[in-house]
């Protein structure tokens, strides 16, 4: 009376199920309309480029959170001298959260590309495991999980094609 417990399969299945659930939730909570809103917010937020301290004779303004700064404006902040990059900049100079938000959402397709890539990677790995598996329980559980991921991949690819068509003619690399 022995029970064989395949811990490698169990951990693999737990990780695949968890990753699939995270991708489904991310796909659900980041629809194209919300990604567009985040992109517009990042474009309005802008970013600051730290300038060298050697430019002491360059005229600059004192930074104020109540002002919207135009592209190319030089401001003095407690963290140093900064130059505005973007159409208009409302971010706080040197704030790493603002910089990360701008880096993530200033290109509208960046998040969607990563989601499509990760979902394709998960589906490909599941297909590889499905081809390699010989036990019926593994085949059934992988097939059900792949069905859920195919639906997620379908939704992501549909949104990716639509967003690609919408943003195709826009130049978002103005400051890069």
CB 108 within 8 A of CB 76: no
What is the CA 100 to chain-centroid distance, rounded? 10
pLDDT of 176 reads 40
Secondary structure of the chain: what % helix, strand, coil (to 5)? 60, 10, 30
pLDDT of 37 reads 96
Rounded distance, CA 60 to CA 141, Å? 63
Q: Which of 95, 43, 97 is nearest to 68 (CA)?
A: 43
CB 124 within 8 A of CB 131: no
pLDDT of 54 reads 63
Q: Which of 86, 119, 116 is nearest to 101 (CA)?
A: 86
Write out the two tokens for 76: 């003095």
Please list the ranges in the chain whose pLDDT falls under 70: 53-56, 171-176
Q: Which of 92, 56, 54, 60 is nearest to 76 (CA)?
A: 60
- Tokens 């980041």 appear where? 30
pLDDT of 154 reads 97
The three-state secondary structure class of 170 is coil
74 phi/psi in degrees, rounded to 5: -105, 130
61-62 and 69-70 beta bridge pairing: unpaired
State in Å, rounded, how far the first CA of the chain is from the last one.
Answer: 67
| Half-sphere exposure at residue 160, Cβ-oriented, CA atoms within 13 angstroms | 17
């Amino acid at each position: 009376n022995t029970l064989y417990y395949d811990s490698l399969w169990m951990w693999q299945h737990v990780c695949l199920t968890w990753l699939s659930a995270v991708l489904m939730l991310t796909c659900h909570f980041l629809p194209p309309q919300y990604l567009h809103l985040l992109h517009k917010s990042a474009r309005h937020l802008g970013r600051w480029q730290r300038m060298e301290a050697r430019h002491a004779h360059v005229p600059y303004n004192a930074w104020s959170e109540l002002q919207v700064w135009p592209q190319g404006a030089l401001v003095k902040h407690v963290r140093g001298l900064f130059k505005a990059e973007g159409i208009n900049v409302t971010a706080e100079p040197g704030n790493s959260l603002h910089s990360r938000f701008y880096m993530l959402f200033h290109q509208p397709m960046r998040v969607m590309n990563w989601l499509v890539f990760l979902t394709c990677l998960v589906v490909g790995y599941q297909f590889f495991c499905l081809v390699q598996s010989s036990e019926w329980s593994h085949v059934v559980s992988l097939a059900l999980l792949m069905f859920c991921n195919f639906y997620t991949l379908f939704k992501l690819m549909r949104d990716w094609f639509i967003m690609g068509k919408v943003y195709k003619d826009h130049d978002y690399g103005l400051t890069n």
